Structure 1
């Protein structure tokens, strides 16, 4: 009886040893289930369980068995160590490498810089160029994405988010949806609109929508920072006395490109964005302004200036009367 028990014990140990060796091989061996392995973008969301992650890994061909994955998590004490994030995982990675990678919380991102004054069309072009989203899909989502109430104005516009996507350099995770990207950029502007800034806006008897719209005009008109506050002051003065803003930038927005010299015909284009024909602000922002243009609106000085024109280097010259304005234009651009 003793010998039999001893033999059974040895057999069990042998089986356990074989199982351990097999488990170790499975744990360390590269995944060979895929004939032509590729790097797969994989997302771990917050509060996902190890079992859910294992099922997703299996569906994407990264692991050969979700059951083995769950067992490996338990044996290595990694059940609660997997990190939320975006990963780029080779399909031929070993189980050990997959688990180690998912514990690092590494984000696979692409750096994108959105300059001040970009329109939503230009942002869409940049995202497509960087391989983050197709232009068509991004713009289609932008038509209906309105996360904050202050983005609604009195008139109909194509994109409520126009003007409310903060220019900045972003590290955007791969596999982000257009809505993810819009949420990130709109959220950044919302964060920049601090309680103090919102109080300043209200003190000027402006809504946030009006404030961003005016800042967008300043952004597109100004090339040099020193000109921004005075341009803002001129626009505010014109709004105060009921004079059309006559912003060349608004005409360029209608045209869809930055035409250097506008014709009389250009200023007569029938559009609600034509600030030569229509008094007051355009229906919405014409670009996404940066903080300097927003600060220029908030800190615009009192002025008697009503006109300005840019010289060939982009510096603006300000005048009080139309006659003075014509003289400056003649001195800059006259033959």
Structure 2
């Protein structure tokens, strides 16, 4: 029998809730309600079933299995019935091909990029296709050339400079030939287009240009000794070191050009430090005004292409830096109440008076004590400075020579240093020891020097020097 809702016979309809439909009974979600329960509306449920049936193309009361289908046709069924999968497959294949082409192009670009970088690196390293070891074969070369190697240059940098100057054919040939051999920086006179091994053999002191040793105590001018030996001065040594013949042409500076530059150039042009400017300016026109301003040392690389003024500037300005390193102040006074320039003059006397560095401090103290007592220094070294013949045993007219440097005739310090000042003499003059010494004399050929503050003792010490053949003047 048809019923308005499909409820099992064993599930009677519950009695109405006395509280009304607004207060249904509590709902148990675990209970099986199907078509019964407090939320079931029999009329609504039947309506919903009919609606579902109509939507599905089945009239109410009709068996769905026997009812004809009324489903809405698929719009795509109206399209041609041919198979679309080949077209989609072709498009996908084209996309895959394009993707493969892009990837291949990117890979090719990266390969070219990496290869280019590697090629450039290998070329820079001189290793592309193996190192370039090409070499010249003519040991005589083709022409003269002066090459400068900066300090601290590597062997490879050395080779590159030689290759740029056409001395060697390749850096590789030079580094192979020079491996393990001592080579110094500086200026060298070489030949162009020579074998690397020949170039290495020429990189010796014999082919150095602008390398000169200035010993302690050396003076600007060349001097002759009582023994007939000639001592080349600073000017002569610098001129010799920087003069050379290049392809038949003489170049370099002369002694006369250096002396002229020293006498006439301004202190600023000569590189004179501020603490010596006044003293140098006071002797304008006299080349000896720069005496003592060139430090004794090994000068490794004087540029032979410099003018005389530039060359002196190079030597004097760098010497000022050396003096500063050795402790000479740039201004003020020392513990002995001397200016930097006066200290340099004192140190030059110390340098020339005795042969042993251990005696330098005492000689410096003698100079300071005599100046403090307003005594003439009476140092033989200052007399010899202007003498034609250098002699430790000063005699005759030299004592009375009227020069600014004769401390037998002039009180105080001479107007300039009397030679190149080394570090030991400078340090001794900066800080002379405490002592009352006023006299000293070297008494033997070994340079033993005796000091005293008593004149009678000094005369006895001097007689000892006469007895040993060191002195001959005023001997008893």
1:135 positional shift: 1.6
2:386 partner SS: helix
Q: Distance in 2 between matches of 1:62 and 1:159?
A: 43
2:334 paired with 1:214: no
Which of residues 301, 310, 321 is equivalent to 1:190? 321
1:29 positional shift: 11
Higher alpha-carbon Rg: 2
Which of residues 314, 321, 326 is equivalent to 2:454? 321
Which of residues 204, 211, 216 is equivalent to 1:111? 211
Q: Give TM-score, length-normalised by structure 1.
A: 0.67
Q: Distance in 1 between matches of 2:356 and 2:313?
A: 29
The question of whether the paired residues in 2 share the 8 Å contact of 1:161 and 1:186 is answered with: no
Listed as ranges, the matches of 1:129-278 within 5 Å are 129-132=240-243, 133-143=253-263, 144=265, 145-154=270-279, 155-156=282-283, 157-173=286-302, 175-177=304-306, 178=308, 179-180=310-311, 182-194=313-325, 197-198=328-329, 201-278=333-410
Which deviates further from its counterpart, 125-134 or 248-257? Answer: 125-134
Q: Which gives a bigger RCO, structure 1 or 2 (Cα 8 Å, sep 6+)?
A: 1
Q: Distance in 2 between matches of 1:292 and 1:115?
A: 13
The question of whether the paired residues in 2 share the 8 Å contact of 1:151 and 1:160 is answered with: no
2:141 paired with 1:41: no
Q: Distance in 2 between matches of 1:218 and 1:329?
A: 19
Q: Deviations over 1:97-120 (max 9, x none)?
A: 9xxxxxxxxx96443211100011
Instruction: Name the structure 1 match of 2:179.
Output: none
The question of whether the paired residues in 1 share the 8 Å contact of 2:218 and 2:234 is answered with: yes
1:243 positional shift: 0.4
Q: Deviations over 1:208-239 (max 9, x none)?
A: 11111111010010101111110100000001
Listed as ranges, the matches of 1:54-65 within 5 Å are none
- Name whichever structure is richer in helix by fraction: 1
1:309 positional shift: 1.1
Which of residues 124, 147, 157 is equivalent to 2:235? 124
Q: Deviations over 1:130-179 (max 9, x none)?
A: 35442222222222224322223454253332111110112124524232
Q: Give TM-score, length-normalised by structure 2.
A: 0.48
Instruction: Name the structure 1 match of 2:421.
Output: 289
Unaligned 5+ runs, structure 2: 1-133, 151-164, 168-185, 197-206, 222-232, 244-252, 467-474
The question of whether the paired residues in 2 share the 8 Å contact of 1:172 and 1:181 is answered with: no
The question of whether the paired residues in 1 share the 8 Å contact of 2:235 and 2:255 is answered with: yes
1:88 positional shift: 4.7
Listed as ranges, the matches of 1:55-94 within 5 Å are 88=189, 90=191
Distance 1:158 1:209, change over 3 A: same
Q: Distance in 1 between matches of 2:328 and 2:389?
A: 31
2:443 paired with 1:311: yes
Unaligned 5+ runs, structure 1: 1-27, 31-35, 46-60, 64-84, 98-106
Distance 1:116 1:146, change over 3 A: same
1:318 partner SS: strand
Q: Distance in 1 between matches of 2:315 and 2:352?
A: 23
Distance 1:319 1:44, change over 3 A: closer
The question of whether the paired residues in 1 share the 8 Å contact of 2:326 and 2:426 is answered with: no
Which deviates further from its counterpart, 188-197 or 234-243? Answer: 188-197
CA RMSD of aligned residues (A): 3.8
Q: Distance in 2 between matches of 1:147 and 1:320?
A: 38
